[in-house]
Structure 1
Amino acid sequence: MLTIKDCIALSDLTEAEIDAIAEHEHLPEMVAVEMGYCLAHCAGGPDRIAHIIADDIADACAHGRAAHAAELMHTLREFVETHPLG
């Protein structure tokens, strides 16, 4: 049986990237894993993921959640370093 950690590992995304997708799209973690996998492997998908994380950063800043925004900035930086954008 696969665990959620196994599924995240198979998605080619980090747990933080999956969490950002889940937060942005208001999805359960497993559904965010599926969406993230699809986006990470399709044309324009990495750009969409980067935009999702950037939106989450803006939302965190707008709501005074500076620590969360900083975590998301780190997530975005790591994502851009590991996934080619269009």
Structure 2
Amino acid sequence: MCDLTEGEIEAIAEHEHLDPMLALALGQYLISHDGDQRIKGIILDDISRAERCGNQRHAEVLRKVLHHFIATHPEHGKSAA
């Protein structure tokens, strides 16, 4: 249904405080409307929040999500957290 992984959808849900189904819809909308940079920014924000809260394990999971997102959406460069 969507070009995003479960982790990417969970990151959107976390960032936007949405139910995962609504996050899926938002993610699909963003992907289909050149919103890749917005999704990348959401994941980066989630990483920063996890680090500020001292949750390094969650930050590392989100870094993996970010790396996968960048690998599958390369049109926005290879820079990552």
TM-score scaled to structure 2, two decimals? 0.90
Pairwise CA distance, 1:29 = 0.4
- Runs of 4+ more than 4 Å apart: none
Distance 1:28 1:17 in 2: 13
Gaps of 5+ in 1: 1-9
Structure 2 residue 44 is the aligned partner of structure 1 residue 54: yes
After superposition, give the CA deviation of every residue in 1:36-84 in whole Å (9 maximum; x if it has no partner).
Answer: 00111112x0000000000000000000000000000000000001013
| Higher Cα Rg, which structure | 1
- Tell me the distance in 2 between the aligned counterparts of 1:31 and 1:13: 13
- Percent identical across equivalent pairs? 47
3-state DSSP of counterpart to 1:64:
coil
| Structure 1 counterpart of 2:21 | 30
What's the CA shift for 1:85? 2.0
Hey, what's the Cα distance between the residues in 1 that align with 2:76 and 2:10?
Answer: 20
How many aligned residue pairs are there? 76
